Amino acid sequence: MKKLSLKAVNLPVTIFKAGKSYVAYSPALDLSTSASTYKKAQKNFSEIVSIFIEELIEMGTLDVVLRGLGWQKIKSNWQPPIVVSNYFQPMNLSHA
């Protein structure tokens, strides 16, 4: 099996509360998961990332998918897109 170079990657993850659940989401992989606690959401997210990467390797689509998500391969190591900003956008959601 081809060795994967994702050493010491700092993956941007947002965890937010949705009702009684905690949702962990990373735009760098466009993956999310949820759980009843913050810690479980963190654990579930780590597990889903591992499964996702394993599946990409198995299907032979790792390079294509990561490039499509904005990742860059630098000296044979994959790096996720750099988060430039996280902010709250005021919006009026009323309808006519």
First CA to last CA distance, the chain = 57
pLDDT at 67: 97
Rounded to two decimals, what is the model's pTM?
0.82
> Are the C-beta atoms of 17 and 32 separated by less than 8 Å?
no
pLDDT band at 47 (very low <50, low <70, confident <90, very high): very high
Top-confidence residue, 74 or 36: 36
